[in-house]
Amino acid sequence: MPRLAWPLMAAAEPSGIQRTGPDWALRREFARLLVLAVILPALTLSALFTWRDAISRRDRAGERLQSVAESTARDLDDFLRAHRAAVADLAERRSAERNLADRARWSADLQRLRRHYPAFRSLLVTDAKGGLLLRDPPAPASKANLQVGDRAYFTEPARTGTSYVSDVILGRVRNDALVALSAPLYEHGRFAGVVEASITVETVAGLRGQLLRERGYEALLLDRAGAVVHASAGLPYAPLDRIGSDAPAQQLQRIATHPQERTLQRVNGVLRDGDDAYGVAVPLTVGWRLLLLQPKHGLDVELFRNVLALLVLLLLVAAGVFAIAWWQMRRLTGSVRELLERMQRFALDQDSPRIPSESMPSELAPLADAMNQLTNRLSHAYRETSHSLDEQRRLRRSLEQVVGAREREIAQRTQELRTAVSELDRLSRTDALTGCLNYRGFREVAALLWHEARTTDRPLSALALDIDHFKSYNDRYGHQRGDNALKRFAGAVRSALYHREDVVVRPGGEEFIVFLPDTTLEQARGVAERICTSVIHADIAHAGSPIGVVTVSIGVASIEPDDGDDPEVMLGRADAALYRAKNAGRNRISL
């Protein structure tokens, strides 16, 4: 029988018991290699991925916690700064007027300040020795002779001559935790007392702490001396407490004293229920420190879910790999036999370096002979294919360079066009002279503010402003000085606005409009009074004005979301009020 015919006959024979052993041995070896080459690396990579994911999540949590803490600290700073400025403004104004003995005037000023700033619990005025001159609301009879000369909110303004925000203190009237804001009074250049306003710690930080807790955070606010100003419900502290000397308190003190930006620091057992937390600290401009904590179990649960999902996925992949390997091994024997039969039928007509078939099992010798012949053909085809591929790669690199250069040029031109369009859009909405919104911006912001008022169910007010005798100002001084006066007038109006949401618009000429979101009619009237005062204090000389400086007439209007009106109606009422103010003699306000 020819040598090549025997393997074909052997391949056609049914598999016997004697071949079952080698088949299963091959499968076991394949399974062992599969575990070493696939499963173990997969487990190692999964553990590495889990570790890196845990670090990444902790870093992101630290950045998120730091961002929330900084935002909350800025909010607290803005709140204290605005109320401190209001107290300082009243003290400076009364000191400049030199009428500190007018109790009726003081009473009206304190009531107006409480009305404009509802956060103030009480306000008081003292003499130069700390004796109580006036309090709003009035103090009980037992506290009528109250002395505050020992309080820091009295001694610090007296010493430094500047306004002051106190640490947390215990109120002497209601025995509650307060924060005092004070400013010095002067008469004939001498210290004459202070104006002080008290705010409860719940007003300062209670609502913010509640909102932070709803988002899964705990907040702790400490004053300069380390006393608790505010602590959220999940922490075992109350206002006026000292956080103690136990291990959690020492860790909190270390975080507050040496904050590490965007780095989570673990505090063991700090929560009321004894759980651990991660914390960051942010300083406030008044010297206080805000500590924001995130419970540890929240991060642990999120990490556990990711690990569990990864393990389930790994098990599914492993099961799939083993199933496919087992199925492929069953096909291996039949595939080898079929491949051997097909390889023996190749018609090759060139010699090539041969595979030594003598060292191979006789059953695979015909496959070796066939592979020797096939190698020659494949080598030739490989050389030709390699040459073609090299040429293709050269052409592709050349094409990629050309396309890349064109894409970079297109991207550069596109970015320049976007920048130009953005600048044109901004300029089209802004008055080039005063920096206020122009008529186009006015139409857009009116619709936007009205929509927000309707959506949030909050009031919206508008002030219609007209510079008094401005035509005669231009006729007398010329348009160049008229433009300068318009710029100074716009700056005076902006300086009287305390809220960043307030919008100043110049539709044209000497007419201006101020939108006041979330502002009632009475509050808008107070803003209008501040604007009138600010314009007069701007001291823009005008010989044609009755008082020698530029003044303004203001019409005030307001609408509630449920009134059914629209911005046009409100602006119409503001214009009508403006004409009434002008007809009544100018330099005044009309509702």
Q: What is the largest CA-CA distance in the chain?
A: 135
Structure tokens at 380: 């030739």
pLDDT over threshold 70, residue 553:
yes
Report the candidate in 4, 15, 7 with the shortest Cα–Cα distance to residue 334: 15
Beta carbons within 10 angstroms of residue 473's beta carbon: 24
Average per-residue pLDDT for the chain: 80
Proportion of the chain above pLDDT 90, given as a percent = 30
Q: At residue 20, does pLDDT exceed 70?
A: no
Number of H helices, E strands in the chain: 15, 15
d(CA 485, CA 189): 33
Indicate whether 326 pLDDT > 90.
no
Instruction: Taking residues 224-241, report their average pLDDT.
Output: 88
* 395 pLDDT higher than 60: yes
> Which pLDDT value is given to residue 552?
95
CA gap 530, 112 in Å, rounded: 12
Question: CA geometry: angle at 420 spanning 416 and 426, to 5°?
Answer: 145
- Please determine, looking at this structure, whether the domain spanning 439-590 carries the CATH number 3.30.70.270: yes
Ramachandran class of 585: left when φ > 0, alpha when ψ lies in -120 to 50, beta otherwise: left
Residue 337, pLDDT score: 54
Distance CA 565, CA 557 (A): 12
Please tell me the predicted confidence (pLDDT) of residue 292: 86
pLDDT band for position 9 (cuts 50, 70, 90):
very low
Q: Confidence band (pLDDT; 50, 70, 90) for 331? A: low
How much is the average pLDDT of 174-186? Answer: 91
What is the structure's pLDDT at 346?
47
Report pLDDT digits (tens) over 28-84. 666 677 667 777 777 787 777 777 776 777 777 778 888 888 899 899 999 999 999
Q: Which of residues 275 and 490 earns the better pLDDT score?
A: 490
Instruction: Flag whether pLDDT at 349 surpasses 50.
Output: no
Fold of 81-200: Beta-Lactamase (3.30.450)
Beta partners for 198? 122, 180
Q: Are 555 and 574 in contact (CB under 8 A)?
A: yes
Give the dihedral sign, CA 330/334/340/346. Answer: negative
Burial letters for 247-281: b for 16+ Cβ neighbours within 10 Å, e otherwise? ebbebbbebbeebeeeebbebeebbeeeebbbbbb
pLDDT at 8 over 60: no
pLDDT over 50 at 545, yes or no = yes
Output the pLDDT for position 560.
74
**How confident is residue 104, by pLDDT bands cut at 50, 70 and 90?**
confident
What's the pLDDT tens digit per position in 497-521? 988 889 999 988 889 999 999 999 9
**Least confident segment among 79-88, 374-383, 404-413, 457-466:** 374-383
In sign, the C-alpha dihedral spanning 269, 273, 276, 281 is negative
Could you give the percent of the chain with pLDDT greater than 70? 78
pLDDT mean over 106-132: 90
Is the model more confident about 572 or about 210?
572
- Tens-place pLDDT, residues 252-311: 777 777 665 556 678 887 788 888 888 888 888 988 988 888 888 767 776 677 777 777
More confident residue, 249 or 429: 429
Banded model confidence at residue 473, pLDDT cuts 50, 70, 90: very high
